[in-house]
Each structure stands twice: as C-alpha cells, then as structure tokens.
Structure 1
C-alpha cells in the first residue's frame, strides 16, 4: 500500500460571518490550501474530493459536496459528502488518505464547512442535537453541554478532578488562540475569569464550552508517486485510526472516557510505529473542557485519572513537552462542525511546515490530530510526520521512503 502525504492545507477564519455563504467560506479555505503547496497544484491535478458537513440549518442537505467543489473549479471531480457529526471532516481526511493509499487517486482534496450562526438559538440547538441519541437523549431534553456535564461529574467523582483544572484548559487554549489570526475567540482569559463564568450545565460554565462557528477548512493529500512534484519537504501520513461506539452516552459502559478515541489512537499509533511519547504536539477535540482532559487519557498522554494533574503540570502548554491545541482548539479557535477535523489538520500542516506564526513550535517532527463526533459515537486520529528529502530524491520525484529500486522501505 502506498504512502500518503499532506502537501497543503488552509482554512477560513472561524466566527460569525453574515456576509458569507458556505460556498464562499469553502472557496477561501480551498484557495489557501492550494496556495500553501510549495510547488503549486492545479485544479486539474485533483482526482477526487471528500467533503464533511452536518448541514446545520438544513441548507443544501443533498449534494452539498458537489455544490462546493463545483464552486471552486472542481466540476466533474468525483465528490463524496461525509457526515459523522463533529468528526465529519476528520473522516473526510481519512477517506482521502484511503483513496491515495489504495492507488485509486494521486491527489485528493479533503475538507469541510459549516454555517452555524444564521439561525435562532433554538434552531441551532436542534441541529446540534441531531448528533445525539435521538429517542432517549435529544427528545427528552438533553443537550450536548448536559451530556458532557455528566461526563465531567463522573470524572470528578471517580478521580477528584476539579473545576479549576477544567478552567485551566480554557486558560491555556485562549492563550494559544490569541496568537491565531483565524480564531473566533482570539483573546486571553485569566483563571479567575474561567472559574467565575456563568454556569451552562453544572459543573460546566461558559468558559468550559466552545462557541458555535461558521468556517471551512481544506487539506490536500498526495501519493508517494507524485509528492515530489509538489514539495521538497513532505509531511507523511504516518498513522490513521478510527472508531465508533454507541451514539447515546447512557448506552456505554463508561462515562469517564471515550472508547472510540482509544481504539482510534491505538490503531494510529500501531500503523505509525510510534507511541504518545513520540509526539511533539497534538490537536485534540475540546468541544468542552472535560473533553480535552478525557482526550489526554484516551490518547495515552497520561494514565486514567491523571488528566487533571497533567493540565496543572504545564506539560500541555505551548512551551511544555507536549503542547496540546496550539491553534486554540475548539474552545478558542472555534467549532464549525463540518470543518473542525480538517481544521485540526491545517494546524498540523502549519506546525510541521514552520508556518504557524507566533505560536510556532521549535522544529516539531511529529504531531497528532484527534476528532470526535457527538459525545463519542465516532472518533478519528491521524499522526503526521515531517520527512527530509535528499537532493537525488528531489530530482527524481521519489518519496523519501522509496529505495533506488522503487520498492518502499
């Protein structure tokens, strides 16, 4: 099976944009992804496209994938729409990688979009709620903040996690998001601010919850056979993992972890031949502060029950030994549902290509992205790593993992 490479990625700003449409936001993300490819890429180079969206507000529920790809000049390119709630474009990236690895395509566009701010709060809650278990959660009045509040309460009861530790997630991610020009909530907050905010669903308060957002993001995946045409510094897709679970929280055996995330991470680490100790950074799904703490444990950054201690240690801050959510995460950067997973890949691309601006890490080699659908009904994990190419590989166009005989090492 061929290697796949991330050759470019870009996103729109995240926020509230009444003057934009889902097509125009996707166009911005696509153009920035194309512009980020060092040697350039032409629309005619793209063999296939995969687009993630939930379709909040009911706009263009059918054929929304072709609607955006045609708009950006990819008319006629086979396009698939993926819906996996908040993990939609994370799975779109996974499908793009599968198409490249299988040999069916050499260059695939993976992206996502969502418009969430042009409907009433009640309508938005409805569309968010459709990703929860319908009969016993949504129709009985349970919200996503309520579901994650149950998870937070269970973690507090089982492991002594505190509200202050939840608030430290917000403080860290706002500090990072303040350095991100594409972030929706690009401002810092104090620990006092994060602890004293109004309660949304006890024990979660306003600063423990991500915003609703408009936005789009795109990534370009290329095969080892053509990557040399586009870049001299390829970013290899080292590992991919995915998992699914019961949609309803009440249907699961645990409230203090997300089994789908654990399975996805195990698969991705095994494929990449690495462990969490080998990562230089991670973008994790922090729709609520407790979700980031659960991710620490599910992804193996610490043992179960130790996530509160890990956030307090400072290790996951931007100057720590495992920075988490350098983009600001969902909490500060924003959470346009269909764009979120691809947006995490944008941050991985920027960090590994040295283009992350004021939040750039010191020479990172390997990073992870972690995208969750709903309260854990689906999860997808990618591991990306930077590779150096020799002058002979650059001139021949071979991938850095291909020998002189053309056989992958």
Structure 2
C-alpha cells in the first residue's frame, strides 16, 4: 500500500515580507492552487496536517492554528492536525500526511504550511526564533538572541568555521554557493529574493556574524505551501502524479551516543533504505540551507558528497543546474525564502515541478528522482529534527 502513495497537487503563495497579509490569506492562495492542480475540490480532502512554527509568538494565535486558517476556506468538519517542529515543520506535516494515506486510513489528505514572521516589532520577530532551541540552554540566550538577527546565525557562523578548519572550505566557496541559489531565484516567481547576486556581491554584502554576510543566509519570509497526498488508484496511475518512495523523520541522538548518526544522517539513511535506492540514484536534491553552511553540511549528511570533497564540488560546479548533481536549483531557502512552517512543503512544490517537467526556465534535463531534506531546531548544538523524502515521477 505504501508504495502507491502519490502527490497529485501542489501550490504556493509568493514568499516575501508581507506585513499586510494574514495567515488565512496566505494559506488560501496555496490551498486553492494545490486543490486546482490536483483536480479535486475542498470536500475531497479528508484530513489536513497544518504546519506552523511561530504564530503563537508573532501573532498570538496558539492551540488551533490549522482550524483557524482552514475554516474560512471550507476545511472544516475534518480531522486537522497541528504540526510544529521548527524549520522541519513542513516536512513533518508531509510525513504525517504520507503515513495517514499509506496506512489506508484516508484516500486523500492535505499538508499545508503557513508562516507569517515579519512584524513591525522587530524585537518580537527576532526573539521568536530563540524558541527553536532549548530555552534553558546557553544557545538560546546568547548574544544573537533578541538582537537584529536570530540566534541561529551564530550557530551558522560556527558551522562555517568548522567547514573552513575541517573540510578546507573557503569564504569564497560559500559565496559561490549562495550566488548559485540567488541567481536561480531570479527565475522563480515565488521567490523572496529575485535580484540575483554574483559571488563578489555576496561577499560585499553586510556582515551579520563573522564570517557570514547577509546574502549567505535565508531571509525572513512570510508565505504558504500546500501538497495534496492521495492513494486513489486512478490518480496513482496518472502521468503527472509524483510518487513518494520514502518518508522519514529523525531527531537528535542521545548525548551518550556521540558516534550515532545525527538527525539528518539518520533520516537520510532510513529514507534511502525505505526506497531501496541510494544517493547515487537521485537526479537532484533540495536540502536545508538556512545558510550556505547548513547546505554544505547537508551534502555530506544526506550522503551526496564525501566529507572533504566540498571544495572540489564547488570548483567543478557539481551542484549547479548544469552540473552533475544539481542542488537547490530553484533558489533554496537562501533565494526562495524561509517561512519556517512552509519551507519544507515549498521544497516539495519545486521538486514536483521538476519531476513533472513543468519548471520552465529552471527545468533540469529529464530528472526522474529527487531527495528532499529539511532540518529544524537545535538541541545541544545539533539539529533537533530532520525529514527526508524520496520522490519519483511515474
């Protein structure tokens, strides 16, 4: 049964700074598009998995976020599950949607991620991010928390330094990867950053925390993305349906197991095992890149690249759209933007477009399989949770 679960519809709102747009408005744009893409109506949705991370801290809406967003568009009277797992929330929602359909409980469900982070009170906005870590730990109360940046930028800087010291990566390498994503985002009509940037412009941007500049990290974005998951036989057989070969969620290993796989490694290994495939069977990847340092870590944690090979990959343009293994080829979080609860589903939205051959100017050459990874939160300086999905076209 599990192998007959497909994505039949996807939809997104534009990502960006949208102070005058509500969560309900953002959600409606994504749902309307996904429902239309799937060729169904709202009454066909049997359950919804609603992803959001920060509404309680930004708008004060707690407890029934999915019910509040879904009700005006007719998503009422059905089971609605509210999902919160930091940046991994959207991937987590899709994982639960897949489980619900693969189990046979439902035929058709919706995963919807909505995030509205931008707020006139910048102190509230930046402080909210600290909730994505253990608030009793020093990480959440460091110099970055509550300032004009999120505390996670400090962690990104530490990861960048580790890449410099342990893998031979340079600041210019990070700038090249950021530029790749920003240049791709120029052609993504949903992207927050559509201005493009050369590596030199990335390096010349404002320094946030040494050594990272503002263009090496994702912007603070508002937006929504939705995915329709189904097992209806006539849809499973349709040419535009995209199969979910694997769906996995993993969390940080216990402190007393220092040699255990981290959350990203564990979720990726489990997903490839579930799919009966390996990293070499993939044609492209969407991976978590709240900063380019995160992206480079994901290359190795997901198993795409051997540790220490990152500088060669960058020099050879391996992850470029024209390279041997494209990564984040529609802009990634750095270019597309990063509304936390929507980001994982936006990755899937863009991967589905690629697998269908519907990505326009960003279309790759005949891709058949993709791996999609997103992580979220921090516990004791390691990623708290990670989801990995392996997708393939029919």
Fold shared, TM-score > 0.5 on shorter chain: yes
Q: Distance in 2 between the 1:144 and 1:233 partners?
A: 38
Residue of structure 2 aligned with 1:334, choices 330, 334, 337:
337
Q: Is the 8 A contact 1:180 1:327 kept in 2?
A: yes
Is the alpha carbon distance of 1:269 and 1:61 closer, same or farther for their aligned partners in structure 2, counting shifts above 3 Å? Answer: same
Equivalence for 1:279? 282
Of 280-289 and 57-66, deviating more is 57-66
Aligned match of 2:148 = none
Structure 2 unaligned regions, length at least 5: 145-150
User: Cα deviations across residues 30-74 of structure 1 (Å, max 9, x unaligned)?
Assistant: 01111222xx11212111100110134043111001111212211
List structure 1 runs of 4+ shifted beyond 2 angstroms: 139-142, 224-229, 231-234, 250-254
Equivalent position of 2:45 in the other structure: 46
In structure 2, C-alpha distance between the alignment counterparts of 1:15 and 1:313, rounded to whole Å: 32
For 1:401, the equivalent position in structure 2 comes to none
How do 1:231-270 residues align onto structure 2 when only pairs under 5 Å count? 231-245=238-252, 253=258, 259-270=262-273
String of CA shifts for 1:59-102, please: whole Å, max 9, x gaps.
Answer: 31110011112122111111001000011011000000000000
- Match for residue 101 of structure 2? 100
1:196 aligns with 2:204: yes
* Residue in structure 2 matched with residue 59 of structure 1 by the alignment: 60
Provide the residue aligned with 1:9 in structure 2: 10
**1:55–1:61 Cα contact (<8 Å) kept:** no
Matches within 5 A, 1:340-351: 340-351=343-354
> Structure 1 291/258 Cα, relative in aligned 2: closer, same or farther at 3 Å?
farther
Q: Compared with structure 1, are the counterparts of its residues 383 and 217 closer, same or farther at alpha carbon in structure 2 (3 Å cutoff)?
A: same
Question: Helix, strand or coil for the counterpart of 1:134?
Answer: coil
Aligned to 1:216: 224
Deviation at 1:209, TM superposition (A): 1.1
CA distance, structure 2, for counterparts of residue 59 and residue 355 of structure 1: 38
1:50-89 → structure 2 map (5 Å cutoff): 50-56=49-55, 57-89=58-90
Alignment of 1:3-42 (within 5 A): 3-37=4-38, 40-42=39-41
1:317-364 CA-to-partner distances (Å, cap 9, x unmatched) read 011121111220100110001100011110011111122111011221
Query: Which shifted more, 302-311 or 319-328?
Result: 302-311
Q: Normalised by the size of structure 2, how large is the TM-score? A: 0.92
Q: Comparing 133-142 with 83-92, which one deviates more in the overlay?
A: 133-142
Provide the rounded CA distance (Å) in 1 between the counterparts of 2:207 and 2:280: 36
Q: Give, in angstroms, the shift of residue 308 of structure 1.
A: 2.7
Looking at structure 2, the residues matched to 155 and 382 of structure 1 have their Cα atoms a distance apart, in angstroms, of 26
* Cα pair 1:106 1:225 within 8 Å, conserved: no
What is residue 179 of structure 2 aligned with on the other side? Answer: 171
RMSD: 1.9
Q: Which residue of 2 aligns with 1:395?
A: none
Once residues 9 and 318 of structure 1 are traced to their aligned partners in structure 2, the CA distance between those partners, rounded to angstroms, is 22
TM-score of the two chains, using structure 1 as the length reference:
0.89
Match of 1:402 in 2: none
Check whether the contact 1:241–1:266 (CA below 8 A) recurs between aligned residues. no
Report the alpha carbon displacement of residue 228 of structure 1 after superposing the two structures with TM.
Answer: 4.8
The structure 2 residue matched to 1:288, chosen from 278, 288, 291, is: 291
Q: Deviations over 1:11-36 (max 9, x none)?
A: 00000122310000000000111122
Deviation at 1:199, TM superposition (A): 1.6
